Amino acid sequence: MAQPYIVYLLGFMGCGKTTVGKKLAASLKWKFIDLDEKIEEKTGLTIAELFSTKGEDYFREIEAATLRELTFDSSGVVAVGGGTPCFKGNMDFMLNNGYTIYLKLTPMQLAARLKVSTDERPLIRNIKDEELPAFIETKLAERLQWYEKAHLAIDGFNINMSLVNREILCYFGG
């Protein structure tokens, strides 16, 4: 059997990694994996519960281990958490083991999407709506050094799926 191809989707929370990942996997007829869901299955806790009961350092350890433990018997698309590339050598791991795509959105676009789900997201749970764009801008600036290492960066607001599919297949020599 040929080695499976892996695509990692990364970007700030709310950029659409899971939504795009499901569409991309379906269009390529590949498996879809949400890393946060795998972490929740592994630990029996939600991401929010992990952050609040165990802390971010513990979460980042589990996240890195879970990323490396993913197994593929066929090609797949993996949506990783917004902070995943920034810790524990995860970005280098993804770059060396697959094709990475950064879904780019502006802080205002992200804030508009995230305002409806702040309670579900530990990093922004206690941030007021009017403070959200500034928080996102600061956090995004910290994370760009990892996000920008991706093999491909695309506008997460207006995604041309057929173009993305071609880029992926071209990368893997298909």
DSSP 133: H
Residue 91 resides in a domain = yes
pLDDT value for 129: 82
Residue 65 resides in a domain = yes
Contact 78, 88 (CB under 8 A): no
Please identify which residue in the block is written with the tokens 């991309």.
24
Burial 41-56 (b: 16+ CB within 10 A, else e): eebebebeebbeeeee
Domain span at residue 119? 6-171
Contact 135, 35 (CB under 8 A): no
- Alpha-helix residue ranges (DSSP H) falling in 6-131: 17-28, 35-43, 47-54, 56-69, 90-97, 107-114
Dihedral (CA of 88, 93, 98, 101) sign: positive
pLDDT value for 1: 45
pLDDT value for 172: 92
Q: Three-class SS of residue 33?
A: strand
**Predicted TM-score of the model (pTM):** 0.93
Instruction: Compute mean pLDDT per 10 residues along the chain, 174 residues long, and list them.
Output: 87 95 96 97 94 93 97 95 97 97 95 77 79 93 97 93 92 84
Structure tokens at 19: 């939504």
Residue 14 resides in a domain = yes
Separation CA 97–CA 69 (nearest Å) = 12
pLDDT value for 119: 62
The structural domain count of the chain equals 1
Residue 165 resides in a domain = yes
pLDDT value for 2: 66
pLDDT value for 7: 98
pLDDT value for 141: 96
pLDDT value for 174: 67
From the list 13, 12, 32, 35, the residue with the least C-alpha distance to 23 is: 32
Q: What is the CATH number of the domain that holds 134?
A: 3.40.50.300
